[in-house]
Amino acid sequence: MKKRKMNRDWIATARTLSEALPFLQRYDGATVVIKFGGNAMGDDEAMAGFARDIVLMRQVGVNPVVVHGGGPMINDMLARLGVESRFVNGKRVTDAATVEVVEMVLAGRVNKRIVQAINAEGGRAVGLSGKDARLMTCTQADPALGFVGTPVEVDPRILRALFASEVIPVIAPVGAGRAGETFNVNGDTAAGAIAGALKADRLLLLTDVAGVRNAAGEILTELSAAQIREMTEDGTISGGMIPKTETALAAIEAGVRAAVILDGRAPNACLLELFTEHGAGSIIRA
């Protein structure tokens, strides 16, 4: 009985690989930017699973770019160092002391943990921040928030050089100002800006929810830009989903073929989205 079950499992695996062939061919040579964050970052098993998916994507010819967040790790380090945070309209004020901690945590601890996870799965990953090779030049988003930046220029040449060497870039969302200032950038915003500069085939925004829901609470698998705007105006899209959909729309306007908001907690979420017929989460097209 056990042998029969194993045979069925092998047959199912072979069928899955066969069915994935058209999607593997479609994304051969494609650029996919993945925003990684949320609860999956704090779980070793989930981190290893994510890293394995990224390595597989590179192995089959995709050029993955990982952009990560790290809010909980920043909060933890600020508390340990006794740095108090102020908030304006629910957003953290990033003063000079705070931005030093942000850069240390994001470009150091968090970035290298993801790099190590990818390398442990057989990939070749390199950690960067938006300050490296003038990747991401920023201006101040709001004087009241201090060193919080908005990307105004993205130079993707360093990323294309890494693609040519089959190296996976892992990017911390820290940028530089024109006068050399350090800016903390929202991870989703950074991922969208980088995807736009690369004219990426896909922007995958991994979150802690299953996707965009309609007024009845149902997950919408496909949306247009017009639907997003209408649902935002009538309040169907609210709270933390608003900046994610705004990022998706901005990326599409910059030349990204499609953006997907999907549940990063689900095993193999990126692979399901790219290499299966049904995909995962909510895809937004121009």
Domain ranges of the chain: 27-285
Contacts of 2 (CB under 8 A, 6+ apart): none
- The rounded percent of the chain whose pLDDT value lies above 90 is 66
Asked if pLDDT for residue 147 goes beyond 70, the answer is yes
pLDDT tens-digit profile of 220-247?
889 999 999 999 999 999 888 888 999 9
Q: Are strands 136-140 and 149-154 parallel, antiparallel or unpaired?
A: antiparallel
How, if at all, do strands 282-285 and 258-263 pair?
Answer: antiparallel
- Distance CA(129)–CA(176), nearest Å, equals 10
51 pLDDT exceeds 60?
yes
Best mean pLDDT range from 77-81, 114-118, 243-247: 114-118
Give the CA distances from residue 229 to residues 64, 126, 187, 284, in Å, rounded to whole numbers and listed in that order. 29, 37, 22, 12
Question: Minimal CA–CA distance to 79: which of 48, 101, 56?
Answer: 101
pLDDT band of 86, cuts 50, 70, 90: confident
Mean pLDDT calculated for residue range 26-39 = 89
- Supply the CATH classification number for the domain 27-285: 3.40.1160.10
What Rg value do the Cα atoms of the chain yield, rounded?
Answer: 19
Q: What is the mean pLDDT of residues 44-71?
A: 94
**Other Cβ atoms within 10 Å of 40 Cβ, number:** 21
Whole-number pLDDT of residue 27: 83
Model confidence, pTM: 0.91
Range with lowest mean pLDDT among 17-31, 120-134, 256-270: 17-31
Q: Which residues of 275-284 are buried (b: 16+ CB within 10 A; e: fewer)?
A: beeebbbbbb
The angle at the Cα of 55, spanning 72 to 63, to the nearest 5 degrees, equals 95
Confidence of residue 180 (pLDDT cuts 50, 70, 90): very high
Q: What is the DSSP letter of 92?
A: E
pLDDT of residue 276: 85
